[in-house]
């Protein structure tokens, strides 16, 4: 909003300054004129042949950089063969002339720095600017050639041709040139320029056939032009025309439509509620430090953007209660509850209401009944009265949504099955791995060293334990009845421990596993047969919850 305000002010100032710019200017030219033609042997004019010239111009500018100008000049130009270095021409041709010129042209002038002259910051800013001009025009030529000293035998017939071809009508001319313009003041200026013209004829001097008829003559003007800008009246001399000046008798500035503006904010002093402090247009010239469109003089929080209904102080939830006094600044509330909402309308703010969506009693914390955990279930019916829960769990939570309340769920964060204490079951393939382990796990004869073919099964058990972190593993070693019972007991323990240590090294936590040796005490086969004894030499892996 503030940027928009400044943009509007600048636009008003620019239009005001533009209207103060004079659109017309006239000029008086004094200077000299020279001729370039058959009686000049170089590309540059002969300075001692310079003749006086004068003129008048009238110009219109739409934007102070381009000018459309009408000019009329009167001048004399002359030339003399005696000024040439060629002795033959000086002694035998020996021509001279003097011509009168009236030049009327229409030109376009481009002033490089013209736009710096009138800008919105100040009504007028004097500049020195180079310029270029060009155009089209007509020239009336009255040539007076003097052939009296010429060699009659050599030039008689050609002289007659030149006299017969004398000009009697205006000729087209193309003026081009450059110069520099100096502003003397906002109403006057000086221009110094040089302009070349071609007249598309070789008879500017009245001499053609007797010299070089294939080359046209040129002429040029150079000198000073005194410029007077016209077209406006400025009584208070502030650079703003009276017809556009809201205060034509009081010097002012363009940004305030020509009226005084002490603080320079674009709002004239007569309409500025804060004339000594720069402000913005929408607030009648008063400042607004925090940009909230509440003027500083009535803004109770001038350094913090706020709202009008809170006297310029912040109100994040727009409930009409300033944030400093609002106990719930990010939620729309009401004055009686210090800016906090009350969804159920029971007079208790949501943040203090144990049942914010159910009208209740202040004695019960905003609930219609005692409810410590604010889950909408009365304490007397709530199996978990201090933990928010669900109705179908009788007030207890069920984080994994498996239908088993967390208090009864051995796997509260993993969705499981009700008849498995809320934990997931092993797949059929995983159960088979554990059942086959007692056959697949083998040791060297009479020792607790695991055979290499046992490792595959042990790695499978490792993966099962990682996939089911809520299960505990019991490892039990068994032997047949050959040998001493005490030796068998010791060997069964070592074999169970070997499996335990392998699983530990693979990252299974110690606290998740137990091991023991049962020796020959729990046979599952007949120790009198080799097949029976083989069944009795085993390690059992049993998973359990808890």
- Provide the pLDDT for residue 296: 80
The Cα–Cα gap between 449 and 519 comes to 17
| Dihedral sign from CA coordinates of 32, 36, 37, 38 | positive
Specify whether 247 is located in the same domain as 269.
yes
Do the domain assignments include residue 148? yes
* Tally of CA atoms within 13 A in the half-sphere of 172 that contains its CB: 4
Domain span including residue 244? 1-22+232-287
Q: Are 237 and 251 in contact (CB under 8 A)?
A: yes
Prediction pTM value? 0.45
* 283 and 156 both lie in a single domain: no
Dist CA 429 CA 449 (whole Å): 27
Residue 270 covered by a domain: yes
Nearest to 141 by CA among 116, 173, 174: 173
- pLDDT of res. 50: 92
Widest distance between CA atoms in the chain: 166
Residue 315 lies in a domain: no
Extract the residue ranges of the chain whose pLDDT is less than 70: 1-21, 119-123, 231-232, 236-239, 241, 254, 363, 546
Question: Which pLDDT score, from 0 to 100, does residue 19 have?
Answer: 44
Report pLDDT for 122: 53
**What CA–CA distance (Å, rounded) separates 38 from 536?**
139
| CATH number where 220 lies | 2.40.160.20
Distance CA 107, CA 195 (A): 11
pLDDT at 283: 82
Measured distance CA(46)–CA(366) in Å, rounded: 111
* Domain count along the chain: 3
Same domain, 195 and 118: yes
Cα(129)–Cα(67) distance, integer angstroms? 13
CA pair distance 394, 215, nearest whole angstrom: 117
Residue 509 domain-assigned? yes
225 in the same domain as 253 = no
Final residue belonging to a domain, choices 245, 269, 287: 287
Contacts of 28 (CB under 8 A, 6+ apart): 54, 55, 56, 225, 226
Same domain, 2 and 66: no
In a domain, 508, yes or no: yes
Are 400 and 411 a contacting pair, CB within 8 Å? yes
Tokens found for residue 227: 């410029």
Do 191 and 44 share a domain, yes or no?
yes
Domain final residue pick, 196, 229, 262? 229
268 and 215, same domain (yes or no): no
In a domain, 500, yes or no: yes
Q: Specify the 3-state DSSP secondary structure of 464.
A: helix
| Sheet strands side by side (includes 538-545) | 513-517, 471-478, 538-545
> Residue 327 CA to chain centroid, in angstroms?
37
71, 106, 349, 372 from 60: Cα distances, Å? 12, 11, 75, 89
Do residues 470 and 532 both lie within one domain? yes
pLDDT at 238: 67
The domain spanning residue 446 has which CATH number? Answer: 3.30.1330.60
Cα 184 from Cα 427, distance rounded (Å): 103
| pLDDT attached to residue 401 | 83
In a domain, 421, yes or no: no
What phi, psi does 504 have (nearest 5°)? -65, -45
For residues 71 and 190, membership in a common domain is answered with yes
pLDDT in tens, 353-403: 778 888 877 767 777 777 777 777 877 777 888 788 787 888 788 888 888
Element (H, E) at 489: helix 485-505
What does the alpha-carbon distance between residue 302 and residue 289 come to, in Å, rounded to a whole number?
6
The reply to whether 5 and 58 lie within a common domain is no
What is the pLDDT, as a whole number, of residue 119? 63
Q: Does 392 fall in a domain?
A: no
Q: Do 258 and 148 share a structural domain? A: no
Dihedral of the CA atoms 507, 510, 513, 515 (nearest 10)?
Answer: 110
- Are 523 and 536 within one domain? yes
pLDDT of residue 212: 82
pLDDT number for residue 232: 63
């Amino acid at each position: 909003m503030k940027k928009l305000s400044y943009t509007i002010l600048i636009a008003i100032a620019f239009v005001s300054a533009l209207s103060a710019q004079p659109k017309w200017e006239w000029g008086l030219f004094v200077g000299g004129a020279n001729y370039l033609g058959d009686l000049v042997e170089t590309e540059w004019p002969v300075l001692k042949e310079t003749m006086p010239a004068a003129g008048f111009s009238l110009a219109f500018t739409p934007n102070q950089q381009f000018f459309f100008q009408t000019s009329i000049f009167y001048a004399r130009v002359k030339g003399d063969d005696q000024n040439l270095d060629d002795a033959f021409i000086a002694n035998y041709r020996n021509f001279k002339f003097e011509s009168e010129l009236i030049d009327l042209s229409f030109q376009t002038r481009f002033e490089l720095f013209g736009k710096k002259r009138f800008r919105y910051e100040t009504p007028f800013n004097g500049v020195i600017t180079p310029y270029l001009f060009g155009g089209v025009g007509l020239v009336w030529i009255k040539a007076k050639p003097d052939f009296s000293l010429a060699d009659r035998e050599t030039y008689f017939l050609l002289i007659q041709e030149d006299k017969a071809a004398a000009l009697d009508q205006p000729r087209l001319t193309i003026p081009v040139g450059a110069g520099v313009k100096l502003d003397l003041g906002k109403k006057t200026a000086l221009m110094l320029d040089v302009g070349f013209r071609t007249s598309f004829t070789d008879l500017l001097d009245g001499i053609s056939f007797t010299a070089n008829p294939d080359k046209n003559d040129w002429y040029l003007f150079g000198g000073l032009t005194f410029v007077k800008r016209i077209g406006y009246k400025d009584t208070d001399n502030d650079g703003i025309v009276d017809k556009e000046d809201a205060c034509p008798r009081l010097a002012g500035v363009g940004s305030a439509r020509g009226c005084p503006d002490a603080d320079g904010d674009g709002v004239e002093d007569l309409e500025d509620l804060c004339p000594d402090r720069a402000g913005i247009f929408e607030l009648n010239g008063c400042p607004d430090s925090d940009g909230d469109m509440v003027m500083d003089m009535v803004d109770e929080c001038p350094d913090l953007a706020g709202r009008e209904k809170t006297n310029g102080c912040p109100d994040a939830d727009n409930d009409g209660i300033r944030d400093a006094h609002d106990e719930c600044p990010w939620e729309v509330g009401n004055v009686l509850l210090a800016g906090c909402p009350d969804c159920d309308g029971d007079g208790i703010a949501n943040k203090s209401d144990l049942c914010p969506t159910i009208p209740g009693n202040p004695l019960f914390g905003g609930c219609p009944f005692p409810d410590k955990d604010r889950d909408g279930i009365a304490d007397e019916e709530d199996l978990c009265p201090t933990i928010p829960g669900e109705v179908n769990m009788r007030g207890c939570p069920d984080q994994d949504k498996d239908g088993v309340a967390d208090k009864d769920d051995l796997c509260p964060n993993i969705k499981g099955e009700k008849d498995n204490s809320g934990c997931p079951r092993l797949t059929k393939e995983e159960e088979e791995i554990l059942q086959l382990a007692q056959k697949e796990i083998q040791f060297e004869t009479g020792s607790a060293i695991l055979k290499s073919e046992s490792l595959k099964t042990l790695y499978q058990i490792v993966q099962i334990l990682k996939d089911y972190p809520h299960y505990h593993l019991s490892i039990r070693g068994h032997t047949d009845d050959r040998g001493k019972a005490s030796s068998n007991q010791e060997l069964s323990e070592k074999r169970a421990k070997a499996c335990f240590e392998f699983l530990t090294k693979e990252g299974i936590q110690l606290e998740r596993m137990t091991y023991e040796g049962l020796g020959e005490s729990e046979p599952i086969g007949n120790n009198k047969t080799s097949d029976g004894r083989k069944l009795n030499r085993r390690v059992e892996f049993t998973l359990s919850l808890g």
